[in-house]
Structure 1
Amino acid sequence: MLPATHVPSPTADLEALLQQRFGQRVLALNDSAQAIREIGNGPAIVLLHGIGSGAGSWLEVALQLGQQGHVVAWDAPGYGESSPLPSQVPTAEDYALRLSQTLDSLGIANCVLVGHSLGAITAAAFTRLYPERVRRLVLISPARGYGDPARAAQGEAVRAHRLSTLEQSGIARMAAQRSSAMLSPRASAKALEWVRWNMARLNPQGYRQAIELLCGDDLLRHAPLQVPCDVHCGEADGITPAEACLTLAKALGATFSLIPDAGHASPIEQPHPVAGRLAFALKESLTGSTQ
């Protein structure tokens, strides 16, 4: 009988980089814990992930941006080792308050704030509440949410579907089933596995709270913005399509661009172009440029 051979994980090298270069620490904030990953020094750029992801999804973007500034990515409340929010139906303001406490703990007075997908709603809410703390806002494939009364029926359907999928499939199976939808048809197998790896680490309680944010809020509720804003979208994004992102950009008075060869999870699928656009936003924020 031949001995069993060990097959390395397809994401083993990324997991090693995550531990070695973009390490986690857990901050104590009043009565809660907040997990972050960080790299680099200098002006701060803060990265907020989407509903089906985590801080690790920013790894390859952060490794490049760490040469220009202090890069911080959080695991949203209820994700990873971050404490969930007290309310089972939290608002964007609840997430924004936790972010403010996180930046206070890190000694960050202001930053370039980046929100991907659902993270865009928290980023917009934070910018509305604390405009002096945001030098520039960048939204990548922003989710608008379903909080507008005109979208209420759609929001109820989305809530029911996501909660049902969670209960019937569980996190691991959900990650296996949904990963390909996050990427373009040309995505590499490695990118697909990294999306799945991050999604498989969701915590049910935090995910349920995030579903309530998605279905209960509307990004445009936090407009108009008082800071410069850029919106980017993967050209093959099937979750927040380019047309929808362009509509949001126009409503926010933001610049807009497409990211070639990318689906919804562009920070994983195309980390180099994404990092380049964020580096540009950081540079613009430091020169005082406006739109």
Structure 2
Amino acid sequence: MSTTVTDSTLPELPAAEIARLDALFPARRVAVGEGVWVSVRECGNAAADTLPLVCLHGIGSGSASWLESAQLLAPRTRLIAWDAPGYGESTPLPQAQPTGADYAQRVHALLDALQITRCVLVGHSLGALMAAPAARSDERIAALVLISPAQGYGAEGREAERARVHAERMGSLAELGIAGMAARRSGRLVSEHASPVARAWVRWNMARLHEGGYRQAIELLCGGRLLADVAALPPGLPLMVACGELDVVTPPAACVQVAQQRGVPLVPIAHAGHASYVEQPAAVAALLTEVLKRASV
């Protein structure tokens, strides 16, 4: 039985922020198969000359985490943020231990359903383990952006780490429950520069995880092989790898390994921890704008 853990020092999300989310970045369900749905939030200029952005969140988050970046980017492009399978109102994957390829199939199905013929795909943290496999085999993806990417623990030689992480993640879920994890773990996702509202958003998103979807995401984290996926990307596909300078979850030293796999520089995000697009949305929006300019040429 899980135990609820609370921390009164963490700020609550103001009701006005939730109202703003619903007004500016509302969620809707998209059918991607018989009885299969993907929940998305969308805003922006669909008629813009730039390509749309399709954004995949991390293991402890959801589509709402892209709100601030989406508002900054809305005048120049269309931004679609999904709730991963098993998150929000998205249908879980059928596999108990899904792989990156399984999540990639759901990405492809969403692009089909939205009739997106070309886009920039963005993966944050665990979202990188979904985005990179999706980009390996889909010509509709014109560029790939990985922000604070999680490498996963599926590579040969990481068996001990994989077992440890699996036990720790599943153990925390059993001990604390979703609400307890949000209270205890969400503070690690931002730096000391984060505003109270940014901290509240990170906690709010984490508190809305579903246990089943989170368990599947743990399996992806433990079995993922991001370096192999990046190495297998199409040769001409543009890739940007970025990381918060103060990220303690996927620190710059780990993210630079991902960038080096492709021979691209690691792009630092100043004054940002792991959830950089929540903490420093203007900086992340500027990076994505630059990618859009290059990819839309």
TM-score range, shorter chain: over 0.9
Which 5+ residue runs of structure 1 have no aligned equivalent? 1-7
Q: Does 1:202 align with 2:209?
A: yes
Match of residue 18 from structure 1:
21
Q: Does 1:150 align with 2:160?
A: no
Distance 1:29 1:56 in 2: 20
Match of residue 249 from structure 1:
259
Distance 2:97 2:53 in 1: 28
Match of residue 182 from structure 1:
189
Match of residue 5 from structure 1:
none
Distance 2:14 2:221 in 1: 29
Match of residue 30 from structure 2:
27
Q: Does 1:221 align with 2:228?
A: yes
The DSSP-based 3-state class of the residue aligned with 1:280 is helix
Match of residue 280 from structure 1:
290
Alignment coverage as a number of residue pairs = 279
Q: How far has the Cα of 1:252 moved from its partner?
A: 2.0
- Does the 8 Å contact 1:224/1:252 carry over to 2? no
Runs (4 or more) in structure 1 with deviation over 4 Å come to none
Deviates more, 1:221-230 or 1:94-103: 221-230
- Does the 8 Å contact 1:229/1:253 carry over to 2? no
Q: How far has the Cα of 1:66 moved from its partner?
A: 1.3
Q: How far has the Cα of 1:133 moved from its partner?
A: 1.3
Match of residue 200 from structure 2:
193
Deviation track 1:215-258 (CA, whole Å, cap 9, x = no partner) reads 01110121232201001100000011111111110112233211
- Does the 8 Å contact 2:13/2:204 carry over to 1? no
Deviation track 1:137-171 (CA, whole Å, cap 9, x = no partner) reads 11100000001021121011101110111011000
Q: How far has the Cα of 1:9 moved from its partner?
A: 5.0
Q: How far has the Cα of 1:94 moved from its partner?
A: 0.7
Match of residue 95 from structure 2:
87
- Does the 8 Å contact 1:179/1:195 carry over to 2? yes
Distance 1:124 1:254 in 2: 15
- Does the 8 Å contact 1:228/1:254 carry over to 2? no
Distance 1:254 1:136 in 2: 13
The DSSP-based 3-state class of the residue aligned with 2:296 is helix
Deviation track 1:40-75 (CA, whole Å, cap 9, x = no partner) reads 213211000000000000000011111111110000
Amino acid corresponding to residue 230 of structure 1 in structure 2: M
After TM superposition, list the pairs within 5 Å mapping 1:134-173 onto structure 2: 134-173=141-180
Match of residue 119 from structure 1:
127
Match of residue 110 from structure 1:
118
Equivalent residue in structure 2 for 1:38, among 42, 56, 70: 42
Q: Describe the shift of the 1:273–1:203 C-alpha distance in structure 2 as closer, same or farther (beyond 3 A).
A: same
Distance 1:11 1:259 in 2: 27
Match of residue 8 from structure 2:
none
- Does the 8 Å contact 1:46/1:71 carry over to 2? yes
Deviation track 1:88-144 (CA, whole Å, cap 9, x = no partner) reads 1011111000011111111101210100000011110001121x1111111100000
- Does the 8 Å contact 1:180/1:192 carry over to 2? yes
Distance 1:279 1:65 in 2: 8
Amino acid corresponding to residue 53 of structure 1 in structure 2: S
Amino acid corresponding to residue 282 of structure 1 in structure 2: L
Distance 1:39 1:255 in 2: 30
Distance 1:17 1:275 in 2: 19
Q: Describe the shift of the 1:26–1:266 C-alpha distance in structure 2 as closer, same or farther (beyond 3 A).
A: same
Which 5+ residue runs of structure 2 have no aligned equivalent? 1-10
Distance 2:224 2:12 in 1: 38
Q: How far has the Cα of 1:18 moved from its partner?
A: 1.1
Q: How far has the Cα of 1:12 moved from its partner?
A: 2.3
Identity fraction in percent = 50
Amino acid corresponding to residue 268 of structure 2 in structure 1: L
Deviates more, 1:173-182 or 1:14-23: 14-23
Distance 1:266 1:9 in 2: 20
